[in-house]
Amino acid sequence: MLVHSRKAKWAVWVLFLVLFVPLFALPLLVVLGASLATHWSGVLPSGPTIDHYRAATRGEALQALTTSLLTALAASLLALAVGTWAALAAAALKKSHRRVMDALFVLPVAVPSVVVGLSVLVAFSQPPLLLNGTRWIVILAHTVLVTAFAHQSVSAAIVRLDPAYEQAAASLGAGPARVLWRVRLPLLLPSLTAAAGLCFALSMGELSATMMLYPPDWTPLPVLIHAATDRGALFAGSAVAVVLMAATLLVLFAVSRVRTRASYR
């Protein structure tokens, strides 16, 4: 709709491919290729095998996958609840109060995740709340990290809401709770699911804070991948990475089924 002539369209698409493929598609393909290989010394990988996948779908790796899924699920649900609540509450406040609240909830994005990990480690290794060495400290850190993203995307969507709908509902006699439940939340649903997907994905791939915190019995996938590649098992690590990507993709797909109207063009 922006470029009309056939020639110009093709020129734009070729430019897109030239930028997109080497930068974004190639890394994924390379990891996929490496996960199926034992050597890589030429242009293409060599020594095809599926042994890495056998190892990546059982034992330690399978447990890490469950760990990652549970952590991401808990963290993104908690973050979505707190972030949406905060965004809705902030939207009703006076402008000065709203600014303060937005700034507060944006802070976890600005603070390095390594520092979030460090601070949670420092704070919850001592009474009154001793969480160090448990799975809860990992889930807590993930929740703190992704809440900011949930809050940001939900409040951005609230700003774009057309107030005419809720005003119409209110003028017809709907109470605030009813307006929220029947008008605002349904209108926000596409953004809520998008936020949930983002939170889940970020939590699945979180490494920095997790590296500071994880107990031995709660090892998420990224930590496992790092451990594998760190000891030189690049190809086995790639297979675990592919499993991580596939799991995330499946969940994102399921989430996008919930999405009703808004779609990318």
Partner 1 sequence: MSAESPLRTAPDPARVPAPAGRGPASGREAVLAAATDGGGAGAGTPAEAVRGRAARAGARRLLWALPPVALLAVFFLYPLVLVGRQSLQPDTGGTSLRPYADVFASAGFREALWTTVWLAPAATAGCLVLGFLLALVIAFVPFPGAKAVARFVDVFLSFPSFLVTLALLFVYGQVGMANGLWTDLTGAAEGPFRFLTTPWGVLLAEITYFTPFVMRPLLAAFAQLDTAQLEAASSLGARAPRIVRRIILPEALPALAAGGSLVLVLCLNEFGIVLFTGAKGVTTLPMLIYSKAILESDYPGACVVAVVNVLLSVGLYGLYRVVSRRAGA
- Using CB under 8 A, which residues numbered 17 to 46 contact partner 1? 19-20, 23-28, 30-31, 33-34, 40-45
Q: Which of 76, 237, 239, 243 binds partner 1 (CB under 8 A)?
A: 237
Q: Which of 55, 73, 233, 234 binds partner 1 (CB under 8 A)?
A: 234
Provide the minimum distance between the beta carbon of 29 and partner 1 in the complex, in angstroms, as a whole number.
9
Q: Which of 165, 121, 163, 161 is nearest to 144 (CA)?
A: 121
> How many of the other CB atoms lie within 10 Å of CB of 183?
18
- Residue 143 binds to partner 1 (criterion: CB under 8 A): yes
Smaller CB distance to partner 1: residue 4 or 59?
Answer: 4
Provide the minimum distance between the beta carbon of 125 and partner 1 in the complex, in angstroms, as a whole number.
10
Question: Pattern of binders to partner 1 over 75-104, x per CB under 8 A?
Answer: -------xx-xx-xxxxxxxx-xx--x-xx
> How many of the other CB atoms lie within 10 Å of CB of 79?
28
What Cα–Cα distance (Å) separates residue 229 from each residue in 74, 116, 235, 238?
A: 28, 25, 8, 8
Q: Which of 38, 147, 44, 67 is nearest to 102 (CA)?
A: 147
- Residue 154 binds to partner 1 (criterion: CB under 8 A): no
Instruction: Provide φ and ψ at 219, rounded to 5°.
Output: -100, 105
Question: Pattern of binders to partner 1 over 239-258, x per CB under 8 A?
Answer: --x--xx--xx--x---x--
Provide the minimum distance between the beta carbon of 10 and partner 1 in the complex, in angstroms, as a whole number.
9
Provide the minimum distance between the beta carbon of 1 and partner 1 in the complex, in angstroms, as a whole number.
6
Provide the minimum distance between the beta carbon of 82 and partner 1 in the complex, in angstroms, as a whole number.
5
- Using CB under 8 A, which residues numbered 170 to 209 contact partner 1? 170-171, 176-177, 179-180, 184, 194, 197-198, 200-202, 204-208
Residue 120 in 3-state DSSP? helix
- Burial, 88: exposed, middle or buried (Cβ in 10 Å; 0-12, 13-18, 19+)? middle
Identify the DSSP state of 23: I
Tokens describing residue 112: 């390095």
8 Å CB contact between 37 and 49: yes
- Using CB under 8 A, which residues numbered 51 to 80 contact partner 1? none
- Residue 108 binds to partner 1 (criterion: CB under 8 A): yes
